[in-house]
Chains A and B, each alone.
Chain A
Amino acid sequence: MSFETATEKKVIVFQLKDEEFAVSVQQIGSIERIQTITRVPNTAKFVKGVINLRGIVTPIIDLRSRLGIEETDYNESTRIIIVYLDDMEVGLIVDAANDVIDISTDIIEPAPEVIGVVNQDYIEGVAKLEKRLLILLDLRRILTTEEISELKTVEGQ
């Protein structure tokens, strides 16, 4: 029966710097073009502010900044990926949204000790495809609200 455990998982692949990341489509609400963001003061540096997403005020974070990659200017290919986690709705700014693919869960491996520039804590695992390496993000760790206030107090000092 073991072959049955290898189920397919649909993920959205997006680009940050030179690496490809993936998040399960189940957690994604929509993908938006970059739009005017209203800055929210006194928050962590990676919180870029809020946007009006069809009548709902939605917080936006810069995923590069959140993962400790240097920020760049936004351009035509920049996208905001709206993700849902519990009762939170947050937009993640990424360099580009590449495609939607099915990956088999048995090719997902735990994150190796050293992987690119991203802190291992935020990684759920990696999936090796023929010529690509997808980093699966752990949204729960990325969207922890504790860090906002922690960083806030640091900034406040």
Chain B
Amino acid sequence: MDTTQYLDVFIDESNEHIEALYQKLLELEKNPNEKAIIEDIFRSAHTLKGMSATMGYNDLATLTHTLENVFDAIRYDRVHVQSEMIDLLVETVDHLNTMVEDIASGGNGSLNISDVAKQLEMLEKRQLNVVADSTSEQEKGFINTSSTFTDIDEFELSILNESHERGFQNYEITVQLREDCLLKGARVFMVFEVLEHLGEVIKSVPSVSNLEEENFDYTFSVILVSNQNSKEITEKIKKVSEIDSVQINPFSVTNYRVSKESKSAVKENVDNPINKEGPKTKEQQEHSKNQHKTIRVNIEKLDVLMNLFEELIIDRGRLEQISSDLKNADLQESVERMTRVSSDLQNIILTMRMVPIDQVFSRFPRMVRKLARDLNKEVDIEIIGANTELDRTVIDEIGDPIVHLLRNAIDHGIETPEERMQKGKPEKGTIKLKAYHSGNHVFIEIEDDGAGINKEKVLSKALANDLLTERESEALTEQQIFELIMESGFSTADKISDISGRGVGLDVVKNTIESLGGSISIDSELEKGSIFSVQLPLTLTIISVLLVELNKEKYAIPLSSIIETAIVSREQIFSAHHKKVIDFRGKVVPIVNLKDVFGIPNTNVDEEYTSIVIVKKGEKMAALVVDSFIGQQEVVLKSLGSYLSNIFAISGATILGDGQVALIIDSNAIIK
């Protein structure tokens, strides 16, 4: 079967299941006896197994199969969940992840899994031996008779169930061919032909394709739905020559379910499964209730939709212009209605591109767990607001910065259990990861109950690294001191803490967040803990900008980087080191003439008043000189295309209401 067309879906779904497995395993560690979690894991493993087998990734299928077995054992209390077990299971899922990644990057997903598989099997078997002893002989016998069919799926079971209701019989037929049979395939074909006349073959072991290729010894079994009695069937099959024997038994669906469960059940009696059936279906119902009805849509299609919508907006602008010129009441009314509908449409299109931040957060519990283990610390992570939604483009970018902040919190915030005991804190540290909406922004907070930031240490180190002078340091507020740890020169020399030093990578975090149009702030109390709060725009594609004019050319400056606009007179501009500067609220801010930056001929050299836009990059500021301000506007950020990438001080473009393109200024590039 050609499966390439399904590959994308396979990878997507596998990743979802692996993610679910990770998540559920961690939940399981906390509530080892929660049946619902075990069921979920079992289901994910089972689906993954089925998918990978269909796609022909055998290693993946084998490993998931082993995993499934373990959970089958857990499901029926043959194995009890322990912490070490979770380690092994997480490791197994790691392997699955590696395989799927390999497949995603074009490999065949093969990996040496014998080690893990063996350990998993031991995990399952160790307990199985105990089980076998306590299983009654009768049960064993029962299992043996019906063990030929072990993986009848729900669909097939439902057919079998139905047939019973309609007065048909289900038979399990085992046919043994003579050992001197020459054309096994042909005989099988003949038997099947007989069977098809008698009723319907639901399933065969080995599978039909294997039978056709003669990939079997001399026996094969089928499940047949028929209204004939067993004797007649046996007679008819025996008419085919070269058949040694035919065994026919009624096949009962309830028995199948019972045997399947009793096969693994330890302490449960045979009649127990009937009781079990009740709560289980209830759980499934709840499960399906929680699932939202969704469809997968390629993100590119959403982009196209967005583009088309923007064209509509541009045309709408024109229509509005025309209708106000013509002053026709009917026209005006319908244009107004169109305006309202299109703003609703805009909201929907924007929310369609939003995905829950859970996509990023879901991998953190696993990471935190591993990191805490590596550092011999005990850390719990509490996630609040995982369903907070953010634009797809932002989601893709914020993963790494948050990982950095979490590492930082575990590495330097949370103390070792001993230290925490001495301080009278609970041994286990807690990290709270919180996301919520506020206005046009999303806030993400990383809060730890660790040691907090030592102000004096930070200050003395900043002074030692020449980040600021003693006099400057006196004027700093507490927050400003904390924020020093995110300065780029802060942690280069020796280290505050033993491992990597608070501050490693924090400057990178800060830059990334700022490049996304966001900001980060720190609050901390010594011995109580720290809070890092990140503020991000809801979407990167629609941003608020200030439109400015430079010699008839229009440029847009993102509001997120603007502190304020001002008009300064000639006397307020000073010269320092041959550079023009202004005094902005007690700070010396260099003046940058945008016309020089963008190579625009400077016509009005010596005017009395100059319009400036004060922009910031972290703590640094610059005053950009423009001809005039046009106004604030929400615009759609567009790229200049791959032909024009990396243009100095231009981060993209946007299409204005009149259909013209305006470039968006990247003030971060202008401030050195």
**1/0 contact string of A6-41 vs chain B (CB within 8 Å):** 000000000000000000000000000000101111
The residue on B at minimum CB distance from A38 is B661
The residue on A at minimum CB distance from B641 is A59
> Which residues of the other chain, B, contact A87 by a CB distance below 8 angstroms?
642
Report whether B661 and A50 are in contact in the complex, using a CB–CB cutoff of 8 Å.
yes
Report whether B643 and A55 are in contact in the complex, using a CB–CB cutoff of 8 Å.
no
> Whole-angstrom distance between the alpha carbons of A58 and B311 in the complex?
15
- What's the least CB distance linking B346 to chain A, in Å? 14
> Which residues of the other chain, B, contact A58 by a CB distance below 8 angstroms?
641
- How many B residues touch A, CB cutoff 8 Å? 30
Report whether B663 and A90 are in contact in the complex, using a CB–CB cutoff of 8 Å.
no
CB contact under 8 A between A57 and B647, given known A38-B663, A52-B660: no
Instruction: Give the dominant DSSP class at B's interface.
Output: mixed
> Which residues of the other chain, B, contact A54 by a CB distance below 8 angstroms?
307, 311
Report whether A59 and B600 are in contact in the complex, using a CB–CB cutoff of 8 Å.
no
- What's the least CB distance linking A94 to chain B, in Å? 17
Please tell me if B281 contacts chain A, counting CB pairs below 8 Å.
Answer: no
Report whether B643 and A88 are in contact in the complex, using a CB–CB cutoff of 8 Å.
yes
CB contact under 8 A between A41 and B640, given known A52-B661, A55-B307, A57-B655: no
> Whole-angstrom distance between the alpha carbons of A38 and B653 in the complex?
10
> Which residues of the other chain, A, contact B660 by a CB distance below 8 angstroms?
36, 38, 52
Report whether A143 and B643 are in contact in the complex, using a CB–CB cutoff of 8 Å.
yes
- What's the least CB distance linking A62 to chain B, in Å? 14
CB contact under 8 A between A39 and B553, given known A58-B641, A59-B641, A59-B644: yes
Please tell me if B83 contacts chain A, counting CB pairs below 8 Å.
Answer: no
Report whether A43 and B644 are in contact in the complex, using a CB–CB cutoff of 8 Å.
yes
- What's the least CB distance linking A150 to chain B, in Å? 13
> Which residues of the other chain, B, contact A40 by a CB distance below 8 angstroms?
640, 644, 647, 650, 663
> Which residues of the other chain, A, contact B648 by a CB distance below 8 angstroms?
41-42, 152
> Which residues of the other chain, B, contact A90 by a CB distance below 8 angstroms?
641, 643
Report whether B600 and A41 are in contact in the complex, using a CB–CB cutoff of 8 Å.
yes
8 Å CB contact of A42 from B307, B311, B598, B661? B598
- What's the least CB distance linking A126 to chain B, in Å? 26
8 Å CB contact of A41 from B311, B638, B650? B650
Report whether B653 and A50 are in contact in the complex, using a CB–CB cutoff of 8 Å.
yes
Report whether A55 and B308 are in contact in the complex, using a CB–CB cutoff of 8 Å.
yes
CB contact under 8 A between A41 and B642, given known A54-B311, A57-B653: no
Please tell me if B158 contacts chain A, counting CB pairs below 8 Å.
Answer: no
> Whole-angstrom distance between the alpha carbons of A86 and B642 in the complex?
10
> Which residues of the other chain, A, contact B653 by a CB distance below 8 angstroms?
38, 50, 57
- What's the least CB distance linking A157 to chain B, in Å? 14
CB contact under 8 A between A50 and B644, given known A41-B597, A57-B653, A57-B655: yes
Interface centre among A36, A39, A41, A88 (most CB of B within 10 A): A41
The residue on A at minimum CB distance from B644 is A59
> Whole-angstrom distance between the alpha carbons of A148 and B644 in the complex?
8
> Whole-angstrom distance between the alpha carbons of A100 and B660 in the complex?
31
Please tell me if B627 contacts chain A, counting CB pairs below 8 Å.
Answer: no
Report whether A89 and B655 are in contact in the complex, using a CB–CB cutoff of 8 Å.
no
- What's the least CB distance linking B594 to chain A, in Å? 9
Report whether A145 and B643 are in contact in the complex, using a CB–CB cutoff of 8 Å.
yes
> Which residues of the other chain, B, contact A145 by a CB distance below 8 angstroms?
642-643, 645
8 Å CB contact of B646 from A36, A56, A149? A149
Interface centre among A42, A89, A152 (most CB of B within 10 A): A42
The residue on B at minimum CB distance from A47 is B644
Report whether B307 and A51 are in contact in the complex, using a CB–CB cutoff of 8 Å.
no
Give B297-353 interface residues, CB cut-off 8 Å to A: 307-308, 310-311, 314
> Whole-angstrom distance between the alpha carbons of A145 and B646 in the complex?
11
8 Å CB contact of B649 from A38, A42, A47, A152? A42
Give A34-79 interface residues, CB cut-off 8 Å to B: 36, 38-43, 47, 49-52, 54-59
> Whole-angstrom distance between the alpha carbons of A149 and B648 in the complex?
10
Please tell me if B662 contacts chain A, counting CB pairs below 8 Å.
Answer: yes
> Which residues of the other chain, B, contact A57 by a CB distance below 8 angstroms?
638-641, 653, 655, 661
Size bin of chain A's contact surface: 20 to 34
The residue on A at minimum CB distance from B594 is A41
Please tell me if B599 contacts chain A, counting CB pairs below 8 Å.
Answer: yes
> Whole-angstrom distance between the alpha carbons of A54 and B638 in the complex?
13
Please tell me if B250 contacts chain A, counting CB pairs below 8 Å.
Answer: no
8 Å CB contact of B311 from A43, A55, A143? A55
> Whole-angstrom distance between the alpha carbons of A149 and B639 in the complex?
18
> Whole-angstrom distance between the alpha carbons of A124 and B553 in the complex?
38
Please tell me if B56 contacts chain A, counting CB pairs below 8 Å.
Answer: no
**1/0 contact string of B354-382 vs chain A (CB within 8 Å):** 00000000000000000000000000000
> Whole-angstrom distance between the alpha carbons of A56 and B307 in the complex?
7
> Whole-angstrom distance between the alpha carbons of A70 and B353 in the complex?
47
> Which residues of the other chain, B, contact A49 by a CB distance below 8 angstroms?
661
> Whole-angstrom distance between the alpha carbons of A51 and B640 in the complex?
10
> Which residues of the other chain, A, contact B307 by a CB distance below 8 angstroms?
54-56
**1/0 contact string of A76-118 vs chain B (CB within 8 Å):** 0000000000111110000000000000000000000000000
- What's the least CB distance linking A40 to chain B, in Å? 6
Interface centre among A50, A55, A86, A90 (most CB of B within 10 A): A55
The residue on B at minimum CB distance from A49 is B661
Please tell me if B426 contacts chain A, counting CB pairs below 8 Å.
Answer: no
> Whole-angstrom distance between the alpha carbons of A56 and B655 in the complex?
9
> Whole-angstrom distance between the alpha carbons of A134 and B641 in the complex?
30
> Which residues of the other chain, A, contact B600 by a CB distance below 8 angstroms?
41
The residue on A at minimum CB distance from B313 is A55
> Whole-angstrom distance between the alpha carbons of A50 and B659 in the complex?
12
> Which residues of the other chain, A, contact B649 by a CB distance below 8 angstroms?
41-42
> Which residues of the other chain, B, contact A51 by a CB distance below 8 angstroms?
661
> Which residues of the other chain, B, contact A41 by a CB distance below 8 angstroms?
597-600, 647-650, 663
Report whether A59 and B643 are in contact in the complex, using a CB–CB cutoff of 8 Å.
yes
- What's the least CB distance linking A87 to chain B, in Å? 6
> Whole-angstrom distance between the alpha carbons of A38 and B660 in the complex?
7
Report whether B663 and A59 are in contact in the complex, using a CB–CB cutoff of 8 Å.
no
> Which residues of the other chain, B, contact A143 by a CB distance below 8 angstroms?
643
- What's the least CB distance linking A89 to chain B, in Å? 6
> Whole-angstrom distance between the alpha carbons of A57 and B664 in the complex?
12
Give A115-157 interface residues, CB cut-off 8 Å to B: 143, 145, 148-149, 152
Report whether B310 and A43 are in contact in the complex, using a CB–CB cutoff of 8 Å.
no
The residue on A at minimum CB distance from B662 is A38
Interface centre among A50, A58, A88 (most CB of B within 10 A): A50
- What's the least CB distance linking B593 to chain A, in Å? 13
Interface centre among B314, B553, B597, B643 (most CB of A within 10 A): B643
**1/0 contact string of B39-75 vs chain A (CB within 8 Å):** 0000000000000000000000000000000000000
- What's the least CB distance linking B51 to chain A, in Å? 31
The residue on A at minimum CB distance from B639 is A57
Report whether B310 and A55 are in contact in the complex, using a CB–CB cutoff of 8 Å.
yes
> Whole-angstrom distance between the alpha carbons of A5 and B581 in the complex?
70
11 CB < 8 A contacts A-B: A38-B662, A40-B663, A41-B599, A41-B649, A50-B644, A51-B661, A54-B307, A55-B308, A57-B640, A57-B641, A59-B644
Given contact pairs A41-B599, A52-B661, A57-B639, enumerate 18 new A-B contacts (beta carbons under 8 Å): A38-B553, A38-B662, A38-B663, A40-B650, A40-B663, A41-B647, A42-B647, A42-B650, A43-B647, A49-B661, A50-B644, A50-B661, A54-B307, A55-B311, A56-B638, A57-B640, A59-B644, A88-B642
Those 8 A-B pairs whose CB atoms lie nearest each other, nearest first:
A41-B598, A38-B661, A55-B307, A55-B311, A42-B648, A57-B653, A59-B644, A88-B643
